[in-house]
A and B are shown apart, each in its own frame.
Chain A
Amino acid sequence: MAKIKTSKLSAGQRTVFLCHGTGCVSNEAFAIRKAFEKSIERLQLTDIKVDFTGCHGFCEQGPIVFVQPEGIFYAHVSLDDVEEIVYSHFRDNKPLERLMYKDPSSSEIVPYFKDINFYKKQRHIVLRNCGRINPERIEDYIATDGYQALQKVLFSMTPHQVIDEVKISGLRGRGGAGFPTATKWQFCHDAPSDKKYLICNADEGDPGAFMDRSMMEGDPHSVIEGMAIAAYATGATEGYIYIRAEYPLAVNRTKFAIKEAEERGFLGKNILGSDFSLKIHIKEGAGAFVCGEETALIASIEGRRGMPSSRPPFPTQSGLWGKPTNINNVKTLATVPLIILHGGKSYSQTGTEKNRGTSIFALTGKINCMGLVEVPMGTKLADIIFDIGGGIPNGKKLKAVQTGGPSGGCLPANMINLPVEYEAFANAGSIMGSGGMVVMDEDTCMVDVARFFISFTQSESCGKCVPCRLGTKQMLNILENICQGRGNITDIDLLQNLAQSIKVSSLCGLGQTAPNPVLTTLSYFRDEYEEHINDRRCRAAVCTGLVTYSIIAEKCPGCGLCIRECPVQAVTSSGKKKPVILDQSKCTKCGACFNICRLGAIAVK
């Protein structure tokens, strides 16, 4: 048995870590790293290293600079700030307060990473290495016990024992449906065939979700090691990572990681000298939401149009090129090495009875701290929104939380004590999905939200089956009518009937879940629909067709800013220093006047 040459992370050495996730990179993080290197070299601060990591999950604070070992966290660093940090922090040993993280709720400066509320209440198990190791250096991964689990299964466990361990852990698939991973592996293991495949689903089509991208960018080796273990357990000898081409950074890091792993003998023929072999390919997807669905994904790899087909046969019976194929999500696979290394029992200590481990959400919307959030299963929504997310900005009230992306639903504020669990979400009409979480405040119109999600699923429907292709079109038309003030009270029943039919008779999960945003808003926010239809009113003043703009005469000094801004000359002057006049018959309700007025003299209803 070959021994893995271990190395140590450069603990102790002072290092400036630049976040090199997509968010920070798009804000010049590469150039900032270069500037750090130059500046440090010029000052001959030879004991200071410059390095980079993957995503920290707190992208809105980017570009992020993290200094170790002291653990100081700088936010929003720009190229112009580099000199100042180097002089102050490294030459004069005075960490630079100006760029430290400020808590949005308390406005207090929080110098240390470990004290940031956003991170403090999280539990990083799957994201364990993201933001901590250099994803382009396999030694870093090895130094955190990387590939030990693979070695363990290859030389001391049978495929059965591996599956058993995963079963003990209680791991459920993180791709959305929460199917028990061990059961799926067992099906694939038991399917008789001369050839089997393994697919890592990194398609991540939910709008706004970026946890899988961050995993592939920040810790690709965890996923690769998970794949090797899954392949060993199921009997697969060839694997694919299906990743969208819009993720160039993730694609490149993954390619590089595969190459590194092959060179070290963790992939390829006779892995670590055993008789187990695995070849991993990357397949870049063209970015269709439906290609996240297993059978469509397989069609896409085979070179066909990404369209789902009926199951059974399930991919574990007849998948890629007709061979038994096990498909798992990125996060599911990244969890596997931990389960093997520390035992299923240890993993199962986190979470709740039927929902073990942690879950990762992409927290966004009307919330103070946006980003990737990993919490133990069973955590209450309220804890995520208020403790980690820092609550709702501008003193507004929470109205709803949307989970599960376009397949999920909107949960009202009074359900905020719901635990993060597959069943709890499903019973409430939503789903966990692959982890989008959009927080909505009073300024959000729930009918408009439903319209938005249906317009997404409608335009992403693959077109194969009638209920999804034409049914979502009907629903979208009705919702557009309601939002434009042309709704009819019978529309509500029509929406409900269409939703029910689409759910029951669509071919794949896309269609079967597409009505969820409409159904949940109908059941929790029905009064808003009725208001739109009966009173022609949108209380959040979002639906342009239902909004009226008017001038508050007492506040308007007649400055005329809005006169210039209005594209249809609906606002006119009534004389110097007199309030302007708004002609409702001309107004197209574009809101230009409202947006430009700095005195709050335009009312919107």
Chain B
Amino acid sequence: MNYLRLNINSREIKVKPGTTVLQAAQASGTYIPTLCADPDLKPHGGCRLCIVEVKGMRNMPTACTTIVSEDMVVNTETEAVHKERRSVIDLIIADHPMDCLTCIKNQRCELQDVAAYLGITERNLPRTIKQKPIDDSNPFFTFNHNYCILCQRCTRTCDEITGVNAIEIINRGYNSKVSTFGDKPLMESICKSCGECVARCPVAALVAKNSIMPTSKIETTCPYCGVGCMMELGIRNGKIVSVEGSRSSQANNGRLCVKGRYGIADFVQHPERLVQPLLRKSNTLIETSWEEALNIVAQKLSAYSGDQIAVIASAKCTNEDNYIVQKFARSVLGTNNIDHCARL
């Protein structure tokens, strides 16, 4: 593998060909502010925050769209660069509700992070913000256009990751906004409610309903189907209060579908959820021990054999469980009559 050498802020680093300046900086521990960049999405170059100075280049290019070339000399921290970055944030802040204290994204907001990094503590330009509508049609998340900074992470996600293309920018100029075909509410569009966009919104424009800050996290596998998506459940007071896909999981690369992302807490915490085997005794179901339950099942199954038996497995079990079920059916019960309900 050949490597390219470049110099970022007087530090020599080596990267693979095809690396962007932003990736090179991040890999070497140099922070460059961004709002539209996302590791899962193609470079966009919209927010203009990642501009840097590159020796020999006339204008200040955006680090996210500039590919490293041999012996490139990059400076990410010049006064000229900071001045333009500050003016970008000034423009966004003048067009943003200034209600951080009561905002659901407070302290998890990327706009706050960047403003803090650039030392912006007040509004420097006249307000441009106008009251914009809120799309509350989706049962799982809210789209509050007042917070939107038009970074397009959501629209690009819907195109590049989910391939649904339910949302895109409509209108032009100041009236540009993220919307659906025909500017209809989300629920009347082809949106699949997967929430991939919500997961990537840097501000409080797209937020899950009823989400509160967890105090701890648990990594687990989604129980809904056999794909085995890994997820991080946010826990507070013994209850699931948030769900995120695990980025480290190879099965889903951090992604989840509508069931995994928004259907977990209700189902896990449902009062009627079975947590113990039930045994029908004189027509009422009574909780029993696993040992007793399994004994009864084994006893009754032993009365039949071969094609007298059919087995239905569940798509809500993991692949491993289902493997065991079919093994049990074929080699213990001696039947090939095995099917599943994964046609959800």
Contact = CB atoms under 8 A, between A and B. Distances in A.
Real complex partners, A and B?
Answer: yes
Contact of A469 (B51, B60, B62, B174): B174
B2 interface: no
Contacts of B67: 312
Contacts, number: 104
Contacts of A288: 172
B45 interface: yes
A510 B128 CA distance: 21
Chain B interface: which size bin?
35 or more
Interface in A455-514: 458-467, 469-474, 477-478, 494, 497-498, 501, 504-507
B173 A460 contact: yes
B48 A474 contact: no
B95 A470 contact: yes
Interface string B151-185: 01000000000000000110111111000000000
B46 A464 contact: yes
Nearest to B155: A305
Interface string A8-25: 000000000000000000
Nearest to B67: A312
A309 interface: yes
Contacts of A504: 59-60, 84
B60 A505 contact: yes
B150 A463 contact: yes
A310 interface: yes
A305 B51 CA distance: 24
B193 to A, nearest CB: 23
Interface in B76-101: 83-84, 87-88, 91-92, 94-95
A305 B168 contact: yes
A454 B13 CA distance: 44
B51 A505 contact: yes
Nearest to B177: A463
B169 to A, nearest CB: 6
Contacts of A307: 169
B19 interface: no
Contacts of A461: 172-174, 176
Contact of B91 (A309, A459, A474, A507): A474
B43 interface: yes
Interface residues of A, number: 33
Nearest to B127: A477
A507 B150 CA distance: 15
Nearest to A472: B173
Interface in B35-77: 43-48, 51, 59-62, 65-67
Contacts of B294: none
B126 A474 contact: yes
Interface string A185-200: 0000000000000000
B127 to A, nearest CB: 9
Nearest to B35: A466
B178 to A, nearest CB: 10
**Which among A310, A466, A471, A494 has the greatest number of chain B C-beta atoms within 10 A?**
A466
Interface string A279-315: 0000000001010000000000000010101101000
A517 B21 CA distance: 34
A310 B45 contact: yes
Contacts of A473: 95, 128, 173-174
A305 B45 contact: no
Given A474-B94, A507-B48, A466 B172 contact: no
Given A459-B172, A504-B60, A466 B45 contact: no
Given A469-B173, A470-B94, A504-B59, 7 more contacts: A461-B172, A465-B48, A467-B84, A467-B88, A470-B91, A473-B173, A501-B87
25 contacts: A305-B169, A461-B174, A463-B150, A463-B171, A464-B45, A464-B152, A464-B169, A465-B48, A466-B88, A466-B150, A467-B84, A469-B174, A469-B176, A470-B91, A470-B95, A471-B87, A471-B91, A472-B173, A474-B125, A477-B128, A478-B126, A494-B125, A505-B48, A505-B87, A507-B48
